[in-house]
Chain A
Amino acid sequence: QSVLTQPPSISAAPGQKVTMSCFGSSSNIGDNYVSWYQQLPGTAPRLLIFDTNRRASGIPDRFSASKTGTSVTLQITGLQTGDEADYYCGAWDTSLNAEVFGGGIKLTVL
């Protein structure tokens, strides 16, 4: 059971927009910066978003993120088949004194 909660899957058509959520608590998302990671099949994760809403180097502006209270969202516009991947949220948890991740959401681009 992950400390951060993500729906297990989401799907959308090419060219469409998708919004995926990550739910936490006051000790993690509510109190600290959040990151998002993309893991393409068979590869290592890579950083997409850091400091809650800042894109990592080389990440297109189709990817954006925001926070409201103890939840965060990652939005991808202009979906491409190459965006099919698992997406993870992560944050430091002040109570656990540990980095915590969501269980990951599998994005399917139909």
Chain B
Amino acid sequence: EVQLVESGGGLVQPGGSLRLSCAASGFTFSDYSMDWVRQAPGKGLEWVGRSRNKANNYMTEYAASVKGRFIIFRDDSGNSLSLQMNNLKTEDTAVYYCTCGFFFHWGQGSLVTVSS
């Protein structure tokens, strides 16, 4: 059974940093593209970024709204994905979901609140 478990969310001040983690199990992590998707309170889904698999040279892609501030890391040996978020803004407040295989499976989400 595929499992994706996010952790690391919490309250952070504007301009601060936070790192989310996603622990994956139940599939061959290195074979799959992994994405982060977020959802602001009461709003729709917004794609954050993607880490492609080894066959695609681990290419990363980001939404324009986070490019230059957020970085996706993946650790194939540890079956984990991370999202390093820097220079956080209030509009980054959202539940962040880890997904695999082009959105075939989703984690339960981790809430990030950016507020002073």
CB of A46 within 8 Å of the partner chain: yes
Which of B17-25, B45-53, B68-76, B79-87 is the contact stretch? B45-53
Once the chains bind, are A44 and B46 in contact (CB under 8 Å)? Answer: no
Once the chains bind, are A98 and B64 in contact (CB under 8 Å)? Answer: yes
Total number of residue pairs linking A and B with CB closer than 8 Å: 49
Once the chains bind, are A50 and B97 in contact (CB under 8 Å)? Answer: no
Among candidates A35, A86, A97, A104, residue contacting B103 with C-beta atoms closer than 8 Å: A35
Once the chains bind, are B45 and A88 in contact (CB under 8 Å)? Answer: yes
Query: Which of under 10, 10 to 19, 20 to 34, or 35 or more describes the interface residues of A?
Result: 20 to 34
Once the chains bind, are B104 and A56 in contact (CB under 8 Å)? Answer: yes
Q: How far is the CB of B57 from chain A (nearest CB, A)?
A: 16
CB of B102 within 8 Å of the partner chain: yes
When distances are taken between beta carbons in the complex, the residues of chain B under 8 Å from A100 are 47
Among residues of B, the one whose C-beta sits closest to the C-beta of A45 is B106
Once the chains bind, are B45 and A97 in contact (CB under 8 Å)? Answer: no
Q: How far is the CB of B99 from chain A (nearest CB, A)?
A: 9
Q: How far is the CB of A49 from chain B (nearest CB, A)?
A: 11
CA distance A88 to B103 in the complex (A): 12
CA distance A90 to B104 in the complex (A): 12
Among residues of A, the one whose C-beta sits closest to the C-beta of B65 is A98
Once the chains bind, are B103 and A90 in contact (CB under 8 Å)? Answer: yes
When distances are taken between beta carbons in the complex, the residues of chain A under 8 Å from B64 are 96, 98
- The 6 tightest CB contacts between A and B, nearest first, are A99-B47, A104-B44, A101-B45, A44-B106, A103-B44, A88-B45
